[in-house]
Amino acid sequence: MTRGVTIEHVSFGYGATAVLEDVSLDVAQGEFFAFLGPSGSGKTTLLRLIAGFGTPSRGRILIGERDVTGLPPWSRSAGMVFQSYALWPHMTVAKNVAFGLERRKLPRADIARRVAAALDLVGLSAYADRRPAQLSGGQQQRVALARTIVIEPEVLLLDEPLSNLDAKLRVEMRSELKSLQRKLGLTAIYVTHDQEEANAIADRIAVLDQGRIQQIGAPTELYDHPANRFVATFLGTANLIEGRIANGRFVGDNFQLDGVGGPDGPACISFRPQDIALGSAASGTAATVTAREFLGSVVRYELAMSNQRITVDVPHRRDSEPHAVDALVGLIVDPKQMTVLR
């Protein structure tokens, strides 16, 4: 039976070095949750603590209602899929998948039935007698998945499971993984540094930086309403304009915006390249085109206004004429598309 995971005020360090600081989050039963952050942000450490490889210095971890904080890995029912797959090279695919069940001393017939079902689920029934070296990377990945799913874990933990595959296969496998998770109703926690992968696969994402949670939310929430500069820039391209708010008006270097709520003080306006439109120089804040790239569906412009550089994507329509480099254009700003960060 699959269960949710609760992490309450967890801190952890290696010696004097703090790796996780006061991390709290809830993963709902049946949810696909991702830990996203740059390398070294503490994602794998947090996943390993859930699996039982290490004990937090503070805080608690619950799987369902059960406090597992002090329990060893084998007495939690968390199944982990490793980046390296960690398959036994001398064993057949079927033996690899059966391994966890044999260790649990299940009856032979049960093992055979469950292994067959797991291999069927990942589409490898025809490969049961091969050894890992006789399989492609994607197939090895599936064996690793089958081996974990076969033990019917309460939570499935995945540590960058697709990072050893080429780009095309990675995209295929992530949608397979997602549909398998849906079909089985599994609670899954997925570690990745790739924001596109997290956006594509996860119901919700926790963004980590330097061992702290920066924000938790659905992919579109994080993209549209980033809580801070880190989240804004880590999830896609963001334009950040630094300035001050006074009496409801934001004033930056050559850029103003009215109707900004909240207290006065230093602030930053954040928006995506597609959140601003370009018109004639008279139509809005003036800026100069410094570079442009035709990307097919959009034309990406680099613009300069005073000392500020910004990136704007304009949808490309058939036969439309792009603005020239060095042209003066006007920025047409919709205040509803602007995020105020403090």
Residue closer to ligand ADP by CB (options 19, 206) is: 19
* DSSP-assigned beta bridge partners for residue 244: 251, 266
Least distance (Å) between residue 61 CB and ligand ADP = 15
Nearest residue (CB) to ligand ADP, 21 versus 203 = 21
> Which residue, 157 or 278, has its beta carbon nearer to ligand ADP?
157
Which residue lies nearer to ligand ADP by CB, 83 or 274?
83
The helix (run of H) or strand (run of E) holding residue 311 is strand 308-315
Q: How far is the CB of 52 from ligand ADP (least distance, A)?
A: 15
Q: Which is nearer to ligand ADP, 214 or 308 (CB)?
A: 214
Measure Cα distances from 12 to 8, 38, 54, 78, 83 in Å: 12, 18, 9, 20, 22
CB of 34 to ligand ADP, least distance (A): 12
Beta carbons within 10 angstroms of residue 317's beta carbon: 6
CA distance 236 to 231: 9
The span from the CA of 236 to the CA of 275, in Å, is: 13
Q: Least separation, in Å, of the C-beta of 298 and ligand ADP? A: 32
Measured N-to-C along each axis, helices 93-103 and 108-121 cross at an angle, to the nearest 10 degrees, of 130
Measured from the CB atom, is 42 or 219 closer to ligand ADP? 42
**Which residue has tokens 């210095």?**
57
* CB within 8 Å of 73: residues ≥ 6 apart: 51, 52, 53
The nearest distance, CB 39 to ligand ADP, in angstroms, is 4
Supply the minimum distance, in Å, between the C-beta of residue 294 and ligand ADP. Answer: 36
Residue 312, Cβ neighbours under 10 Å: how many?
Answer: 25
The answer for residues whose C-beta is within 8 angstroms of residue 202's C-beta and 6 or more apart is: 32, 33, 34, 190, 219
Least distance (Å) from ligand ADP to the CB of residue 173? 20
The CB density around residue 11, as the number of other CB atoms within 10 Å, is 15
**Residues interacting with ligand ADP, by CB under 6 A?**
14, 19, 37, 39-45
Three-state SS letters, 180-233: HHHHHCCCEEEEECCHHHHHHHCCEEEEEECCEEEEEECHHHHHHCCCCHHHHH
- Cβ closer to ligand ADP: 18 or 327? 18
Structure tokens at 104: 């649990």
Contact between 69 and 94 under an 8 Å Cβ cutoff? The reply is no
Token pair belonging to 70: 């002090």
In angstroms, what is the minimal distance from the CB of 210 to ligand ADP? 9
User: Is the CB of 21 or the CB of 176 nearer to ligand ADP?
Assistant: 21
Eight-class DSSP state of 283:
G
Nearer to ligand ADP, 43 or 147 (CB): 43
Residues 6+ positions from 111 with CB-CB distance below 8 Å: 98, 101, 102
Instruction: Find the shortest distance in angstroms from Cβ 44 to ligand ADP.
Output: 3
